């Protein structure tokens, strides 16, 4: 059984890759930072894993430029970015980059993989959404907009993709202890005090992702 994981050079994506390799899957890990990707790659148990270095913004712009992944039984889309900006300081370039990374890329790339049947009939897809889609603090408007769009798109595409029994889920974790969160706290040390929930550990998210993917198919 083969799984593609984007954003696998860090945080949730990296931990998800390690989990699925432990479960006997062949894992294709994707990200931009080759050094960190290679670190994750060498930590994967088992054999048959692949490493793909690339920018999802390029893939979304021209899906034909994407590598051929072959027959995928599952995909976890964990690539994403989060930048904060006060509402009165919004500018198009950063907003557009956030939307392209968190919304346009997962939609276009998943569509391409479905259309080209690299996502095989019965495949399982999980997108990393966020609780911010429903409830986010000040400064998070760009991120919230991107993840809100992702949740809405997932509900529609799940219906369309069910024709080939491809299941699409969008998980929506609260704040997770990852490099993304650490970078935000470095820039805004007061952030943890402003959260009305506790910061959860990566393993909790990986368990939920694994449950959604493995409930109906097993290697």
Ligand X SMILES: NC(=O)c1ccc[n+]([C@@H]2O[C@H](COP(=O)([O-])OP(=O)(O)OC[C@H]3O[C@@H](n4cnc5c(N)ncnc54)[C@H](OP(=O)(O)O)[C@@H]3O)[C@@H](O)[C@H]2O)c1
The answer to the question of residue 176 lying near ligand X (CB under 6 A) is yes
User: Does residue 133 touch ligand X according to CB under 6 A?
Assistant: no
CB 176 within 8 A of CB 205: yes
Beta bridge partners of 30: 52
d(CA 107, CA 104): 5
How many chain residues bind ligand X (CB under 6 A)?
Answer: 28
User: Which x/- pattern, by CB under 6 A, does the window 183-212 give for ligand X?
Assistant: ------------------------------
- Determine, following the binding rule CB under 6 A, whether residue 139 of this chain makes contact with ligand X: no
For β-strands 50-53 and 72-77, DSSP reports them as unpaired
In the block, tokens 């409930």 appear at: 215
Q: Name every residue whose Cβ is closer than 8 Å to that of residue 196 and which is 6 or more positions away in sequence.
A: none
Cβ nearer to ligand X, comparing 32 with 112: 32
CB of 162 to ligand X, least distance (A): 24
Verify binding: residue 98, ligand X, rule CB under 6 A.
no
With CB under 6 A as the contact rule, the residue among 32, 50, 85, 111 that binds ligand X is 32
Distance CA 31, CA 8 (A): 6
Residue 115 makes CB contacts below 8 A (sequence gap 6+) with none
User: Is position 119 an interface residue for ligand X (rule: CB under 6 A)?
Assistant: no
Q: How far is the CB of 166 from ligand X (least distance, A)?
A: 20
**9 binding ligand X? (CB under 6 A):** yes
Position 79 contacts ligand X (CB under 6 A): yes
Of 15 and 166, nearer to ligand X (C-beta) is: 15
Instruction: Judge contact between 144 and 95, C-beta under 8 A.
Output: no
């Amino acid at each position: 059984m083969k799984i593609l994981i984007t954003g696998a050079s860090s945080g949730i994506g990296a931990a998800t890759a390690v989990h699925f390799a432990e479960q006997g899957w062949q894992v294709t890990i994707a990200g931009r930072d080759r050094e960190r990707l290679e670190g994750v790659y060498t930590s994967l148990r088992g054999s048959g894993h692949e490493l793909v270095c690339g920018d999802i913004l390029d893939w979304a712009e021209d899906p034909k430029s994407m590598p051929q992944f072959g027959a995928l039984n599952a995909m976890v889309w964990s690539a994403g970015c989060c930048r904060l900006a006060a509402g009165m300081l919004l500018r198009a370039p950063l907003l557009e980059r956030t939307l392209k990374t968190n919304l346009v890329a997962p939609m276009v790339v998943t569509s391409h993989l479905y259309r080209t049947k690299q996502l095989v009939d019965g495949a399982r897809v999980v997108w990393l959404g966020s609780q911010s889609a429903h409830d986010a603090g000040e400064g998070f408007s760009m991120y919230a907009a991107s993840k809100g769009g992702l949740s809405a798109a997932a509900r529609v595409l799940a219906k369309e993709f069910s024709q080939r029994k491809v299941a699409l889920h969008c998980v929506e974790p609260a704040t997770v202890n990852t490099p993304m969160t650490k970078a935000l706290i470095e820039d805004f040390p007061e952030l943890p005090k402003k959260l009305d929930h506790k910061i959860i550990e990566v393993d909790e998210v990986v368990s939920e992702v694994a449950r959604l993917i493995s409930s109906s198919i097993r290697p």
